[in-house]
Amino acid sequence: MDLAALNAVATAMVQPGKGILAADESTGTIKKRFDAIGVENTEDNRRDYRELMFRADAMKDHISGVILFEETLFQDAADGTPLVDLINASGAIPGIKVDKGATKMAGFPGETVTKGLDGLSKRLRSYRERGARFAKWRGVIEIADGVPTWTCIKSNAHALARYARICQQEQIVPIVEPEVLMDGPHDINRCDEVTRQVLQTVFSELFEQRVALEGIVLKPNMVISGKGSVRQATVDEVAERTIAALKATVPSSVPGIAYLSGGQTDEQATAHLDAMNRIGGFPWKMTFSYGRALQAAPQRAWGGDNANAAKAQAAFAHRAKMNSLASLGQYDASMETEA
């Protein structure tokens, strides 16, 4: 393992003013996105949509890396150029989602554990040969009555750590993504409690698996009220609680934090990231790794018609710029009216 090289990639992924585009929706997930805009979920449509983003000027200005689904990593643009080459040409780093999704935990109703460790080393070698330099694995933690259990937290943390160790063995930077879902009626206090427990367990497992923290990027949820909570926390409260939770659980040797948006609206995700960076006083770079919060607007603008590519790229550029500013603590909500 070349830790210096891994650290260089991880540091580039969280460089100031840039963030990560999560374009790794599975075929089933992107079908839901396309259904919402009346677009058929074909391989060509998936390619055309992602190609327009990868060719956008916003990639050069605001995007440090792109998480891809396996299909996209090996896909060529309409003119035959590998999509991964378009990403490299923009100066962004190609990455790959490697988990195989969450599966139900036998004996633990409502809880899941992520699968995909079998054959991971072999897959990573082929992904690296194609150009991927980082990977992503998501562990899903739900909050409900009696949930999460310790078994669920421990199982997902262990899988994340095994994945991270295998990645580093294959000279791939692992994005470690333990997501505490914001679905449900729980308040911010409950989210804070669970998030701290999850992060403490994840880093304990990473230590046991001898994962070099200097060569990872953490992709956590923000500490936020559940969608169904009677009281929704303010932007400042989310920022303060999130930073406090991470300071208590995340070692300073981690190069950076790239937050997931987790079902927040576009502008909420941007405002929360900005508020955290305005507070400052933390040892890591803090940026974004957003999927829907970067893509919902360009998807609507595109609508399945490549004649709308420029319009979609402009929508993508706006959201990417807003989040770029937020990663520097320079976002102003009044800028949204300029779009």
The 3-class secondary structure across the chain, one letter per residue, is CCHHHHHHHHHHHCCCCCEEEEECCCHHHHHHHHHHCCCCCCHHHHHHHHHHHHCCHHHHHHEEEEEECHHHHCCECCCCCEHHHHHHHHCCEEEEECCCCEEECCCCCCCEEECCCCCHHHHHHHHHHHCCCEEEEEEEECCECCECCHHHHHHHHHHHHHHHHHHHHCCCEEEEEEEECCCCCCCHHHHHHHHHHHHHHHHHHHHHCCCCHHHCEECCCCCCCCCCCCCCCCHHHHHHHHHHHHHHHCCCCCCEEEECCCCCCHHHHHHHHHHHHHHCCCCCEEEEEECHHHHHHHHHHHCCCHHHHHHHHHHHHHHHHHHHHHHCCCCCHHHHHHC
What local confidence, expressed as pLDDT, does residue 53 receive?
A: 97
Range of the domain at 19: 3-338
C-alpha distances in Å from residue 195, one per residue of 129, 244, 257: 36, 11, 14
What local confidence, expressed as pLDDT, does residue 139 receive?
A: 98
Q: Any idea what the CATH number is for the domain that residue 193 is in? A: 3.20.20.70
Nearest-angstrom CA–CA distance, 112 and 180 = 12
Checking DSSP bridges between strand 134-141 and strand 63-68, what pairing results, if any? Answer: unpaired
Report, as ranges of residue numbers, the positions in the chain whose pLDDT lies below 50: 339
Active site residues: 177, 219
Q: How many domains does the chain have?
A: 1
183 Cβ contact partners less than 8 Å away, ≥ 6 residues apart: 142, 143, 226, 227, 228, 263
What local confidence, expressed as pLDDT, does residue 337 receive?
A: 75
Q: Is this prediction's pTM over 0.95?
A: yes
Helix axes 292-302, 309-327, angle to 10 degrees: 160
Q: What is the pLDDT of residues 208-227, one digit of tens each?
A: 999 999 999 999 999 999 99
Nearest-angstrom CA–CA distance, 39 and 58 = 24
